[in-house]
Chain A
Amino acid sequence: MAELKKTDESMDATPNVTEVETADAATEAAAVAAIDAPVDRGEPILQVRNLVKHFPLTQGILFKRQIGAVKAVDGISFDLYQGETLGIVGESGCGKSTVAKLLMLLEKATAGEVFYKGQDITKLSGRALKAVRRNIQMVFQDPYTSLNPRMTVGDIIGETFEIHPEVAPKGDRRKRVQDLLDVVGLNPEYINRYPHQFSGGQRQRIGIARGLALNPEIIICDEPVSALDVSVQAQVINLMEKLQDEFNLSYLFIAHDLSIVRHISDRVGVMYLGKMAEIGTDTQIYDHPTHPYTQALLSAVPVPDPESREGRERIILTGDVPSPANPPSGCRFRTRCWKAQDKCAEEVPLLAVPERFKASDSPAAHESACHFAEEKDVVHAA
């Protein structure tokens, strides 16, 4: 496997948040240089600020007029640090996959900024944009539909080099693809096979090899193991952890399986209806949750241990997630929350360390968007 560190430009390593006018060739070159500059471990590599994505709802055929919007992502902010795994959990429809698409620039954000090493990637174009795209790659959920059935494995992985030829010279590419197959634990001789000749777990390895091909710094994983069998899930999770150490990757790991997210993540963000409800380290979220939604979510997870199930408190939420086209006023969780009061309908709770925990250095002192944040262990048997 070739060198994954990019050390060609000796730019300032710390990202400084600047507006970039990409029309100007000089600033574009500067932006590319900033994007290719390495970031120290533990420094923020991706900073998301007030990211918003509204999908318009229209009526009429000839004269379309907007009658509303699906507020899929409604103002979320978080940082992703170099070398860490940030897990994003939430129920279906909470906007977690839309966040992935926004970060991949597959969707255009309605508002908000995404800073990659100080450059706002939502405003980039041309060479700088291409450099960003090379550095942020994605592994998709369904290994059956995300690989083209008419292309061989070699073509699927090698296609990335057609778009970014600077990563691997032409004569070198076949060898590179074989190296990549080896890295993800597949036989390099499989290079001429088609996706249908592989099992689900092997296909997901191909998807991971494709994600690695361009030596990215960030890999966004959208439910990478949810389509796999239990015995194969562990293999893929172990592979992803190994690759992270080997290539110094940062993962944004999106999943609905809370146990897997805890296993792989350093920090976890909990989303509900397009907003971040709570974010913190895995211990803070799983052992000391303060947001009622996180508590309900965790308590609903069945633990594969009949001995401990009696001791656990179960919070069963009533009803379904409200429509993101017409979210409740104030706190979005209030319609299903057992703590909800008048204040919750009037005031939107901000994502911040709750007042009562500010002074303490207990694990409960992490960001939580609830007016009545309160620590409660729902995972361990009482």
Chain B
Amino acid sequence: MTIIDETAWSPAPDGAEEDGRPLLEVRDLHVEFSTRDGIAKAVNGVNYSVNAGETLAVLGESGSGKSVTAQAIMGILDMPPGRIPRGEILFRGQDMLKMSGEERRKIRGNRIAMIFQDALSSLNPVLSVGYQLGEMFRVHQGLSKKEAKAKSIELMDRVKIPAAAARVNDYPHQFSGGMRQRIMIAMALALEPDLIIADEPTTALDVTVQAQVMDLLAELQREYHMGLILITHDLGVVADVADKIAVMYAGRIVETAPVRELYKRPAHPYTKGLLDSIPRLDQKGQELYAIKGLPPNLTRIPAGCAFNPRCPKAQDICRTDIPLLSPVTERDGGELAGRGSACHFWKETIHG
């Protein structure tokens, strides 16, 4: 079995910062967990970057490592059992994994903030939302309780919670699901961070509320020119908001592409299978294409390409060699900016 160095390819730096560096860059990140059944390799060499004002969607099923990567960036991984054996997370060029706890604390919440999936369990039920929002200002900026409360009301107004001044002392259970998610967004926005990581921000919400929340998030992102990492399993939500997409499978990025390109011409059999397996709203389809089998157990990831047992195109090479995330080109060799696929047979997949 040969293992190919995955750092060889890194995303094209389009729209980078003034100094040419992206806002956040993840390089060859590995995360593993010690479990009773052995070591679960949750993330196995992930590379991605986000620029200011850009939305990167990380798409994957449960267990693909998309949330673990985000937790590693935020520095909220439980360690132990988690471990980061290799990799770099560069925020404005500085490796956060080498920083002290104190330095990371200054970045967390202040420069990089996170929106969690389940607003009800992420908010403290015994503290008023005003207190929880104000905590950001009290801890990071040393404001007084009164000033912090005034700021909280301002924030609640900004995320369009009606009658903010009257509701600032209410508790999380007194808000509806959509309103709670707005409070989570307000909390992430409080200190006007450079980067927001949203982990399945609308999964628990109804479609009509989901549309409201995603619109709000997109609007605020434009306003503050923030980078956004959107983690989701919903191909529909991604199509609506993302600029570029990274598809993850078994702890690796299997495909990266600008959003339109990915839907038009997927270059990895997994992406293609996912797109074919979702029913469409605008047409009545025939039988759905189903990817056979199950996602792999992370303690026993198949040798070679992790997708090979489920892949219709798998050959012998797929069972022995891990495919490198390599640039995808046009049939005539013309460059396709920002596209990459970790498949030995990407040419056949994209060009038919």
Q: Chain A: residues with CB nearer than 8 A to chain B?
A: 91-92, 199, 201-202, 229-235, 237-238, 241, 256, 258-260, 262-264, 282-283, 286, 296-298, 300-309, 314, 316-318, 320-321, 379-380
Contact = CB atoms under 8 A, between A and B. Distances in A.
Contacts of A199: 294
Say what secondary structure dominates the interface of chain A.
helix
B288 A238 contact: yes
A232 B178 CA distance: 28
Given A91-B207, A316-B211, A320-B209, A303 B284 contact: no
Nearest to A263: B279
Contacts, number: 131
Nearest to A201: B294
B291 interface: yes
Interface in B169-211: 176-179, 206-211
Nearest to B287: A238
A229 B250 CA distance: 14
Contact of B281 (A230, A258, A306): A258
Given A304-B275, A320-B176, A231 B291 contact: yes
Contacts of A202: 294
B289 A234 contact: yes
Contacts of A297: 207-208
Contacts of B291: 231, 234-235
A286 B281 contact: yes
A301 B236 contact: yes
Interface residues of B, number: 46
Q: Most chain-A CB neighbours within 10 Å: which of B207, B211, B259?
A: B207
A234 B273 CA distance: 10
Contacts of B277: 230-231, 233-234
Nearest to A286: B281
A264 B177 CA distance: 28
B237 to A, nearest CB: 5
Given A230-B233, A259-B278, A305-B239, A237 B206 contact: no
B287 A262 contact: no
A362 B84 CA distance: 62
B240 interface: yes
B335 to A, nearest CB: 21
Contacts of A233: 277-278
B295 A302 contact: no
B258 to A, nearest CB: 9
Interface of B: 61-62, 176-179, 206-212, 214-215, 233-240, 259-260, 263-264, 273-275, 277-282, 284-285, 287-292, 294-295
B130 to A, nearest CB: 20
Say what secondary structure dominates the interface of chain B.
helix
Contacts of A305: 239, 263
Contacts of A303: 236, 239, 280-282
B178 to A, nearest CB: 6
28 contacts: A91-B207, A92-B177, A229-B62, A229-B233, A230-B61, A230-B235, A231-B273, A232-B294, A234-B289, A234-B291, A238-B288, A259-B278, A262-B279, A262-B280, A263-B285, A283-B284, A296-B208, A300-B211, A302-B210, A303-B239, A303-B281, A303-B282, A304-B236, A306-B240, A316-B215, A320-B179, A321-B176, A379-B282
Nearest to B280: A259
A304 B239 contact: yes
A307 to B, nearest CB: 7
Given A256-B207, A259-B281, A302 B260 contact: no
Contacts of B238: 304
A146 to B, nearest CB: 19
Contacts of B290: 231, 234-235, 238
Contacts of B282: 286, 303, 308, 379-380
Given A231-B295, A238-B287, A302-B239, A307 B281 contact: no
B235 A262 contact: no
Contacts of B208: 91, 296-297, 300, 316-317
Nearest to B286: A263
A380 B278 CA distance: 17
Contact of A309 (B61, B62, B210, B239): B239
Contacts of B176: 320-321
